[in-house]
Amino acid sequence: MSTVLFTVATAAELPYAEHMVKTAQQCFAQHKTLVYVLDARMGEELPVVEGAFVESAFSLMPKSFFDEAFFFDQEELRMRVAVVAAHRLCSAGDESIYSVPNAQFSDICRPPMPRNTLTGISSEPETSTPQSAACLSTIYKMSTSALLFGTGKGIESYLDWCENKMHWIFYRACLPYMWGNVDSKDIAEMQRDFMHDFPQYAAPLGCFAVRKTLRELGCKLIKHDKLPYGFSSFDDGLPVFDLLRDYYGINYRLRQACNGDPFANSELFAQKSALTGDTHPVPVPPIAAAFYYRRSDVSGAFHEPFGKDREAFVRWFLNYGANEAKIDEKWTAELSQKLSTYTAENTANDILYRSLAYRIKRRLGLIKIAPKTEQSLPFGVNLCGFIKGDFGLGEATRILADILEESGVPFTIVDFQGAAGHSYANERWSEKISNEFTYNINIMLTNADGLPVFMQTVAPETMKNRYNIGFWYWELPEFPPEMAKSFEYIDELWVASDFNAEIFRKISNGKPVTVVPCSISATADEALTREDFGVPKDKFAFLTMYDVRSSQDRKNPKAAVEAFVKAFGDRDDVVLMLKLNLSHYSEEAEEVERLIDGHANIMMLVGNYSREKINALVSLCDAFLSLHRSEGYGLGPAEAMYFGKPAVLTNWSGNTQYMTPDNCCGVDYEIVEIEKDWGPYKKGWHWAEPSTDDAAEKMCRLVDDKEYYKQLSQNAKKTIHERFSAEAIGETARARLMALNSQEGKK
């Protein structure tokens, strides 16, 4: 094990860093010294710092570095890099000491290292390695202090938590709260101070901490004037101002267009419209939009910057906003010219149309006005939805992309990330994302309540001269009247089940409702075994699996546990696995733990698994159990059937789309009134109460009747593979889309 002294310095700070290294070597002659250059670009030759190894900060997190360098200010980025570096060193078994680059150590400096002053906090102190980390800095509220913290596994866990927390802050700040997600805005802004004062969390999180003044440590700071910073402007010189950094965080489509390097794409910020699909002659570029979305005084003065207030807002930006951001006229000249041309043309037209001679000639028919002709768009689909989302509607969007791919209908993808509380990291269809409305048919998979939010993220003209299809999921016979207003946005509705079709045809005002079921396919991680999940290989395993964000009351795990206990009691040859997509530390988890308390043959699995790991778990069970009160479709049971696993399901709602008496164990139920509000489901509405007695009887037969199990397994797999493949559903989608294209062509 070795001790590493490191700093994070900008290129302009390197002379100070070199002096720091020289003075530090008087105290730490035996230690390795590292200098991370904060604003070095990829492939750039790194300078030499005598006595130290030099690396680019980019090398620590290459995938997201330039996005984060654009979003975070200089000191926030410095701390982000410092934490990542300390974590990497700790993981490699090294101790680390971080210092700001302008520190100067004296020859009497002997910082007390944690291994000499602190007690190990590992759960196994006798085997704990004395890894540690020290922070000698001028961080935020600690301008005269240094913090020394941690040993062993404790410090590594702490640094891991800090790194994830900082990533979370970047992610939460990137949520599109400018379109209604106010809660995430508050969270992001309140959490931002963590980027500076994270060392204060060391002791509360289990790392013993010592606070020392820099003078006590024999260390002082060399003061200097503000120095140049490589990430204060784009590559071509356009300044990056604070409001623009914040705005970049929330405009995910702009980040996608920058493809990981915003500094090389100034034209996207200065010339292109900030609103997807905006074709107005006068664009509202991000350098202007940043003022609207990040300044309440500006948004209060210009309510519709992409609508009736466009000219006034752009004029304000050119006259005032650009000056505030110190944007030179050369960066706004093109926008200024477009505004002048547009204003002049409109003024000339107004004068012409108002003239008496013109109006007389129009009435006499001496002036012929040619009707406007709309440009014909190519046949295909603009698929709009949560294509990168880690939740149900994200998976549904990817399934629809699979269907369109197999249908042979041309399509492109417009990404939407307007649902709070989720991450957007799935890359499976990323190469297909264009965020352009290329084709003549829009399909928007957002659910009814998300459609108005989506509409605020795209220009109105993206819906014009196109056939607009919504794709919604719902679980109950009743539908919220306020959500039904979303029918105003669409020409047709697609749903995944006949159950949904029956609900929506009653309230669609004659608009077509077409059933396009979900296709089912799955790839499992074949390297995983039951032992990886803690499940004995010689037991019959039932699996109940759900995401609590989809409402635990609707998923009804209580009935699953009750039916299992009725069927098997304490039999040790059968096990029930409850897989919940949540944290151990939640009310929902505690509720389930109370349900299973005392039952050794019932186990709970929690956490966010990868899709391949989820599929592996499903493929390793013997049967799927879902005694839900309602389902819009039920992907989990269908995926289990894909692997040939019989499913015991409430015989009602969207899952009946793929159920037959020969491929499933349909459980009897009673339709009941909901006694109180459960999330979006209101008192007085209706759902099913499954019979746990009937479920228990069917579960026993699956376990005890091997021939029955075999036949059900074969039929389940055959149904899904033949009737619900992407190829089969693709034919349904293609037929409808071709018919729509033919109808549109005749208009």
Is residue 126 over pLDDT 50?
A: no
Q: Which residues pair with 648 in a beta bridge?
A: 625, 665
Alpha-carbon span 503 to 486, nearest angstrom: 15
The proportion of the chain whose per-residue pLDDT surpasses 70, expressed as a percent, equals 82
Alpha-carbon span 350 to 348, nearest angstrom: 5
Co-location of 197 and 53 in the same domain:
yes
630 HSE (CA, 13 A, CB side): 24
Dihedral through CA 528, CA 533, CA 537, CA 540, nearest 10?
-120
**Res 738: pLDDT:** 97
Q: Which position has the higher pLDDT, 333 or 41?
A: 333
Residue-wise pLDDT for 424-478, tens only, equals: 889 999 999 999 999 999 999 999 999 999 999 999 999 999 999 999 999 999 9
608 in a structural domain: yes
374 in a structural domain: no
Structural domain for 624, as ranges: 530-724
Report the SS3 class of residue 103.
Answer: strand
Over residues 699-714, the mean pLDDT reads: 98
Co-location of 606 and 715 in the same domain:
yes
Q: What DSSP assignment string belongs to 407-466? A: HT--EEEEE----TT--B---TTGGGB-----SSEEEEES-GGGHHHHHTTB-GGGSTTS
Q: What DSSP assignment string belongs to 143-158? A: TTEEEEE--HHHHHHH
Co-location of 491 and 636 in the same domain:
no
CATH number of the domain encompassing residue 438: 3.40.50.11930
Per the structure, how many domains does the chain have? 4
**Res 310: pLDDT:** 96
Alpha-carbon span 276 to 676, nearest angstrom: 41
Residue-wise pLDDT for 660-706, tens only, equals: 999 999 999 999 999 999 878 999 999 999 999 999 999 999 999 99
Co-location of 148 and 274 in the same domain:
no
Residue-wise pLDDT for 374-392, tens only, equals: 568 999 999 999 999 988 8
Alpha-carbon span 265 to 740, nearest angstrom: 39
Residue-wise pLDDT for 216-243, tens only, equals: 666 666 776 789 999 999 999 999 999 9
What one-letter code names the amino acid at 257? A
Q: What DSSP assignment string belongs to 38-80? A: TTPPTTPPPPP-TTSEEEEGGGGSTTTHHHHHHHS-HHHHHHH
715 in a structural domain: yes
Co-location of 447 and 563 in the same domain:
no
Is residue 61 over pLDDT 60?
A: yes
Alpha-carbon span 720 to 555, nearest angstrom: 22
Co-location of 267 and 318 in the same domain:
yes
Residue-wise pLDDT for 248-276, tens only, equals: 988 999 999 999 999 999 999 999 999 99
**Res 364: pLDDT:** 57
Alpha-carbon span 492 to 510, nearest angstrom: 9
**Whether 406 contacts 374, CB under 8 Å:** no
**Whether 729 contacts 495, CB under 8 Å:** no
- Name residue, tokens 């024999």: 218
**Res 111: pLDDT:** 47
Co-location of 583 and 697 in the same domain:
yes
CATH number of the domain encompassing residue 694: 3.40.50.2000
734 in a structural domain: no
Alpha-carbon span 311 to 419, nearest angstrom: 31
430 in a structural domain: yes
Residue-wise pLDDT for 634-669, tens only, equals: 999 999 999 999 999 999 999 999 999 999 999 999
Alpha-carbon span 439 to 413, nearest angstrom: 11
311 in a structural domain: yes
Range with lowest mean pLDDT among 93-102, 296-305, 489-498: 93-102
Among 489, 515, 541, identify where a domain stops.
Answer: 515
**Res 409: pLDDT:** 98
Co-location of 252 and 197 in the same domain:
no
Alpha-carbon span 174 to 176, nearest angstrom: 6
**Res 167: pLDDT:** 82
Alpha-carbon span 99 to 747, nearest angstrom: 71
**Res 158: pLDDT:** 81
Within 10 Å of residue 178's Cβ, how many Cβ atoms? 18
Co-location of 607 and 637 in the same domain:
yes
**Whether 624 contacts 551, CB under 8 Å:** no
Residue-wise pLDDT for 130-188, tens only, equals: 455 555 544 434 444 455 555 556 777 788 888 888 887 776 655 544 434 444 455 55
Co-location of 130 and 194 in the same domain:
yes
Co-location of 697 and 620 in the same domain:
yes
Is residue 11 over pLDDT 60?
A: yes
**Whether 576 contacts 611, CB under 8 Å:** no
Co-location of 573 and 493 in the same domain:
no
Task: Round the average pLDDT of the chain to a whole number and report it.
Answer: 86
Over residues 89-99, the mean pLDDT reads: 81
588 in a structural domain: yes
**Whether 623 contacts 695, CB under 8 Å:** no
211 in a structural domain: yes
What pTM value is reported for the model? 0.85
